[in-house]
Amino acid sequence: MRTRYGRGIVTTASRRWFGGRDESRRADAQAAKDAAAAAFYELDSAQRDLRISIETIAAADGSPAGRQASEGFAALGQRIDAVSHVYIEAVDAHDLDRVDLEAAAASRAREELTRAREELVRVKGELDRFAQGLQPLLDKAETQLARVAPARERAKAALLAASDALDAVRAGGMRADDLAARLAALAPELTKLNEGAGRHGVQETVQRADRILRDAEGVRAEAARLPERAAEIDRRLVSLRTRAQALRNRADRVDPVLSELRRRFSAACWQDLQHVPDEAIRDVAQAEDRLLEASRARDEQRWADVGVLIDAVREALEGTDEAVSAAQDRLTRLEDVARNPQAEVERTRFAIRDAQRLAMAGRSVPDPRHARPLDDSVARVERALAGLEGRHPDYWAFLLEMQDVREAVNRVVSGIRAERGHG
């Protein structure tokens, strides 16, 4: 610009009058930057929220739909990384706070930041639509996950109750080593339970909690019963000792019974009982030895061993009791049949007649399948009765034959009733 002062011409530097437009473009660029930043943070926040949802689904849903959800989120993550990278590059490329920022640079910054924001918004829309499509899976997963916390708490409460019960019985002088070992074995399972459904899945976590609950409750219940169990074992040991002593005394009285049998009846009636006294004494001695073992196991609190030994002693004494009783029972039965064999005969004949009436019910002619064995039974009774004639009848064989005949008759009766639907 030239200015005239008198005769001379003063030339001054040209002045730029575009400062207002530059500031406006800088402001537009800054607004674009702020908008892009807001879009970036909204996308980042939405991605974090959706990641939590995906983790929830992954923990609860191992179905193909659940796996597809994770794969879809991973693909979206790649697109989010791409548009985020474009946004960050645009921000880094333009320093909007520079004093000498030119209008063209401000315009380029605004355009690049605007495009970055638009891409961020577009991907955010994809993310929102993807999240909406996951809602049914998420609802189902959250319902499944809601089972985890209560199941875990119940399992932990059961473990605590088991530990308290174990401490209580130990305070009472019980070692309960086996129960302590069972409780300690649950520690690894508890560690996995605490790692949660995110690592092990909902179903496995709930099932693990249920197993811990069941096993811990078993330990607690056994610990609570332990004092009562010990007292019961003590009572059983005392009872078995008393029974063994009584059987020893009874075994000593078998010989007089055998002497009576030998004196009054034929050898066939008693020879199978000759071994009873010696075997009874031997068996009682063995049972008493096992009782001593059981007592030592009780003192050492080896409860499982005590139970096995007690059962073995009880079974042995029952067998001995039957053998010892057999001699006296044999003598009683032989005396009864020798005194009145007709009583046994009539008992058997009554059973035969009752079966014959049933066989003829509703029939004019009996079924040969029923008549033949019943007729055979009649003949067997007559032969057995005839066998009692003579100087030394085998009353024991007679009794066994009568018993066998009645069993044969009962089989015929059962067959008739089954055929007629009477059960």
The answer to whether residues 56 and 73 touch, using CB atoms and an 8 Å cutoff, is no
As given in the structure block, the two tokens for residue 420 are 């007629």
Residue 25, pLDDT score: 76
pTM, full prediction: 0.53
Residue 367, pLDDT score: 85
Q: 226-260: b or e for each residue (b if 16 or more CB lie within 10 Å)? A: beeebeebeebbeebbebbeebbebbeebeebbeb
Measured from the Cβ of residue 10, the count of other Cβ atoms closer than 10 Å reads 10
Question: Hey, which residues does 10 pair with through a beta bridge?
Answer: 3
Mean pLDDT in consecutive groups of 10 residues from the start of the chain, 423 residues: 36 40 74 86 90 78 75 86 87 70 74 87 90 82 76 91 92 86 91 80 84 94 90 94 93 90 88 90 93 93 90 93 91 92 94 92 85 92 89 89 95 90 62
Residue 54, pLDDT score: 83
Residue 99, pLDDT score: 59
What span, in angstroms and rounded, lies between the C-alpha atoms of 215 and 211? 6
Taken in order 263, 265, 267, 271, the sign of the CA dihedral is negative
Residue 13, pLDDT score: 35
Residue 259, pLDDT score: 92
- Closest by CA to 240, choosing from 182, 294, 171, is 294
Residue 5, pLDDT score: 36
Taken in order 235, 238, 240, 246, the sign of the CA dihedral is negative
Could you write out the three-class secondary structure of the chain?
CEEEECCEEEECCCCCCCHHHHHHHHHHHHHHHHHHHHHHHHHHHHHHHHHHHHHHHHHHCCCHHHHHHHHHHHHHHHHHHHHHHHHHHHHHHCCCCCCCCCHHHHHHHHHHHHHHHHHHHHHHHHHHHHHHHCHHHHHHHHHHHCCHHHHHHHHHHHHHHHHHHHHHHHHCCCCCHHHHHHHHCCHHHHHHHHHCHHHHCHHHHHHHHHHHHHHHHHHHHHHHHHHHHHHHHHHHHHHHHHHHHHHHHHHHCHHHHHHHHHHHCCHHHCHHHCCHHHHHHHHHHHHHHHHHHHHHHHHCCCHHHHHHHHHHHHHHHHHHHHHHHHHHHHHHHHHHHHHCHHHHHHHHHHHHHHHHHHHHCCCCCCCHHHHHHHHHHHHHHHHHHHCCCCCCCCHHHHHHHHHHHHHHHHHHHHHHHHHCCCC
What span, in angstroms and rounded, lies between the C-alpha atoms of 43 and 128? 9
Query: Which residues make Cβ contacts (< 8 Å) with residue 331, sequence separation at least 6?
Result: 257, 260, 261
What span, in angstroms and rounded, lies between the C-alpha atoms of 305 and 297? 6
